[in-house]
Structure 1
């Protein structure tokens, strides 16, 4: 890790049991029905962005589980925004089922139950403490188990994709500035209004550096 850039850690394994142990701080995971030893792999790079964490990952097939007992036990009070660059997901919550495809962002409240079937995919995940959003968004409970659509959702997907690409080379001092900028962008995208969009505009200009971050085109996928 370059000490002059935003702090990051890396983890990679070909063994499902090692991945199960590594992800246990957030999820209980179950392997797919086939022999995971034949083709499972996981690689994750995680960046500390103020009080947020951004991960850029390639993960093999698995099922994520946050049971009622698990939620009570670990007390995690974060939202997770997952941008699936490839493939998609199908999940169950106490409110019903939801699913999505590549290019969409899913929203998960870690203080609530979830079962999510995840195919082999590339994804960006943003972990946001609840208290960073609750003053800006009045009804956070409505976000759990959602996959927003429309132009603001596309803007959010573009932003997360660009953020993950740029983080490895950004200076260490940019972390907290980007954290504040990201909060404003989340507010503008989840609660669309002229006021919210205008409040986020300086953040978008800073973060995107002139890139077409607000484009309504699909997320540009990395070569595989």
Structure 2
């Protein structure tokens, strides 16, 4: 991950360095005389395999990718751009515009220009070979969708939450979340309708995989819950609930996993150590009473009644050869 927050106040050359840094990607223009002194740029960049996700803010400007920038950058891929400030521009001869909260598609090897009143954008960028084929269809360069259709709102919300939580995501979580965004984007841009059954299953499968992985790593933490998960894996509450609906819900899944792990801890105890209260606390339950009630509902017996697995003494082969004793131990017979 890379991150910076530079202003003309703390770096008098920030404006010139910004324009020079972007020169191979974009020609920057449309600045006022006062912009150099009030200039700022904020950027967060996260890479997940072939995918690069960015969050950027800056002053208003025009960004143009002409033949020279396309040649110098050598980029041949596609960007999904969620713009929060509103833009007007051109995509290879097609006039484009979008109100705040619109997702745009831009092919990097084709001409484009955008005038932004203020740079406030999220982007997901990938090379051609990593992009799904539909996203590289020529007619989609310059396409956009806003929050009017339901699928547009879902896509925008998903990208927004993904970007806010990306800095804390692992590689697999990030890739799964971006792939889910691309499935939503396909439906939004190609059909503007409801997801097919297979597409829905694919989205929810990737969300469940990311959530389950995160749950397993943080299962013993008391703060693990809906808010924690939505922030960690980059989805809305509603999407998370739907992803686990067939398995009884996300809270039930977390509780089930905690109970299983706590039961293992009870079986591995030496005598009564650790105590039921200690096991409850270390496995994310709010109290011993809460743990005991849930445990009895799940297993039909209170946790205190669980007998630790008997640790069998090692056979002593220094005297008689007692295969009868060894066999008895293997069968679980008396000592």
Which has more radius of gyration? 2
RMSD between superposed Cα atoms in Å? 2.5
2:137 counterpart residue number: 140
Structure 2 counterpart of 1:107: 105
Q: Secondary structure at the match of 1:33?
A: coil
Aligned to 1:65: 64
Q: Partner residue of 2:203?
A: 200
Detail structure 1 runs of 4+ shifted over 4 Å in the superposition.
204-210
Q: Which has the higher strand share?
A: 1
Show the counterpart of 2:257. Answer: none
Give the TM-score normalised by the residue count of structure 1: 0.79
- Deviations 1:150-170 (CA, angstroms, capped at 9, x unpaired): 222222111110101111222
Indicate the residue corresponding to 1:28 in structure 2.
Answer: 27
Cα distance, 1:25 vs. partner? 4.3
* 2:155 is equivalent to residue 156 of structure 1: yes
SS at match of 2:123: strand
Judging changes above 3 Å, is the alpha-carbon distance between structure 1 residues 186 and 130 closer, same or farther for their aligned structure 2 residues?
Answer: farther
Deviation at 1:129, TM superposition (A): 1.9
Aligned equivalents of 2:68 and 2:119: distance in 1? 28
CA distance, structure 1, for counterparts of residue 236 and residue 106 of structure 2: 30
Aligned match of 1:219: none
* In 2: Cα distance, 1:169 partner to 1:139 partner: 30
Using the TM superposition, give the Cα deviation of residue 104 of structure 1 relative to its aligned residue in structure 2, in angstroms.
Answer: 1.0
Aligned partner of residue 89 in structure 2, secondary structure:
strand
Which structure has more RCO (C-alpha within 8 Å, separation ≥ 6)?
A: 1
Aligned twin of 1:98: 96
Q: Counterparts of 1:166 and 1:138 in 2: how far apart (Å)?
A: 24
Which deviates more, 53-62 or 188-197?
A: 188-197
Q: Is the 8 A contact 2:103 2:144 kept in 1?
A: yes
For the 8 Å contact 1:134–1:140, the answer to whether it is kept is no
Aligned counterparts of 2:126 and 2:153: Cα–Cα separation in 1: 19
CA deviations over 1:35-86 (Å, ceiling 9, x no partner): 212322111010002111111121111110111232234331121112123x
Q: C-alpha distance in 2, partners of 1:78/1:134?
A: 11
Match of 2:5 in 1: 12
TM-score when normalising by structure 2: 0.55
Q: Does 1:130 align with 2:128?
A: yes
Deviations 1:141-197 (A, max 9, x none): 121112124222222111110101111222355344444444433334333451434
Distance across 2 between alignment mates of 1:201 and 1:190: 20
Equivalence for 1:212: 238
Structure 1: segments with no counterpart, 5+ residues: 1-7, 215-224
Does the 8 A contact of 2:78 with 2:105 survive in 1? yes
1:32 CA drift (Å): 1.6
